[in-house]
Structure 1
Amino acid sequence: MNTDIRYKNILVTGGAGFIGSNLCRKLINDGVSIWCLDNLITGKIENVKDLLHCERFHFIEQDIKTFDFKILPSDIDAIINLASIASPKAYYARPIDTLLTSVLGVYNLLQYAKKEDIVLLQASTSEVYGDPACDILNESYCGNVSCTGPRACYDEGKRTAETLCMDYHRLYNVKVKIIRIFNTYGPYMDICDGRAIPEFIYRSLHNRDLIIYGDGKQTRSFMYIDDLLEAIYNVMNLDDIYTYPINIGNPNEEYTISEVAETIIRTLDSKSKIIYKEKLQDDPYKRKPDITKIITKTNWRPLVSLKEGLLKTIDYFENYDYSA
């Protein structure tokens, strides 16, 4: 696996979110200079407060839909776009903003990448596959997505962002890299955004009921954040993946949502109980990635087990400042 990234001055959009803050921290530790752009709608300045004193870290509170890229230095050599509302609870509340971030925002980033002749890594999602009609998801699968349902603002937004990236590559030879990220968890997640693992940990720590929408038999393949960051480094260092998306996930760690809830309750010795409610519309029943492509290209493989990753994540939330 690659241990260093080839770029030295990177614009990370959405850099104060869960994935973004972890990535900024790793890049700074590896000697990269970072311009972290975030509108703080779902990102938090507290996620990067330990980086604010670093002279190689520059925080800009702006929105990629309206940002004036002229204020950036001329030596930016790559963009990693993580800017997006990503949790169902948040994008149900802000559907139009969610969609436009993936359209207008990505358009603006592509225009900047074209002008400066730099690479853009677009963080897409397994949500582009929708509620799949197959068990294992290869990048060639076109998906089963509702364009009118409550999740469409995110699902279709990300699909449109991929389309924009490929059109800019075909028309203008913009160097784009598209990664489809599967369910990822770890420190710096938002405990209140409704995603399963942080929500289950938070509720278990406080002996509250864990709510599962559906029968709990729906499965997810969970990947720990450190594995994702290594994969991003590997993909960024490739020269020849400008013409197709690439899955990043952990097919070895597929569990039902009920199993995850039970594991967290047991690990914390919590008094919480599991409550089942009606399934959410368009919520996929199964989502497991085929990662043959990234293995072939980079020899990357996820290494962190769910047991190990949960212990690290639980430790973070046990010491979390809930007043922040």
Structure 2
Amino acid sequence: MEHSDSECHFKCLSRDLLAHIMVRLDGSSLASAACTCSELHGLAQDQRLWKHLCHSTWPSTSLKEAHHLFSSFTMEGFNRFYADSYPLILHDRNSDVIPIQTHLSPSDFASFIDVYYRDKCILSRVLDGMPNTAVCGDGQSNDFLRWFLNCPFRLVLFDVDSVEGDEVRSGNDEYGYTQMLSPRFMAPVQIGKTKDHSKELVEGLRLSWVLFDKKRGRAVNLSSWKPVLVKKIWATDGDYLMHFGCIVPVEENVLPHKLAKCLIMARCSLAGKEGYLRWKEISMHFEDTIGAHINGDKSLIIMNRALYCLRSNKPLVVEKAYEQFEEQKQEIIRKKKLKDTIADWLFLSFEVSIFITFGYYYFFSPI
């Protein structure tokens, strides 16, 4: 009876008024409202609502550079994008990894990066494809692409360590990739009286890195949303290094321990008496369980795998999985060091025994 009464009340309202109300809902509330009655369910299918929601959640999706990426969206396009990108990747040790065989190209992927401070977006950028991976006219990969597939992968949003004022330049990073540099980005930070402001940055900073497969229309957020590490680098005059990321399960033929870490690194400094953030670097790469950088070929496989991972709306659960990976990583490194130490001792013992044997025959053998 109560359900029918509420549905009757909704029918008394105009569709324009209902749409005006629903456009103010977040994604979870909008999805819940769609389950209450047929009237709201129909309104919730309006892609304009989900488009507005995506633009407000990830301002990078509303930038001019992003328009052509969504031009092929049809029914449920923005709805699916939100459902894919809002929850974070959840690494579950008990879940099975289903092999995904597909042709992969760097140009298939785009990235939407948004940085927030105190719930206010302070930086938005779009990366379409990956630098230095163009394809020749005959369809064959050029030297840059072959180099990309075999060298350590590192996708650089920008690096403005040596850029002054609003100057924009381009160049090569330490791995040879073309840097996509931007002007100096600054945002006010509420800082205390201490010299180390790591706590304020942990509490206030949030970062989203949404990876988008342009061919299949799938998306995934590679970030942990909140930083998993913030530390001050005293040697560089007070720069702050921040880590975001996730853990991606992969097949054993990709990595022996079947786990890869997506590491999003951000570096900034505080400038001026007002305490402004000056961004110096934001980049993303993948590491294995001993901390080694993964090459471009396997990184493409990992990015594709991430699109099909389990998701969770609970950041603490995702953070715990990240911590478990770090513990496993330290244990693997400890065992490797122990194995190397034993091997060194055995080799040294073998050399000593050879030396003693030759010495014995030299001094005590009959002439």
TM-score (ref. length: structure 2) = 0.22
TM-score (ref. length: structure 1) = 0.24
Q: Which has the higher strand share?
A: 2
Structure number with the bigger relative contact order (C-alpha 8 A, sep ≥ 6) is 1
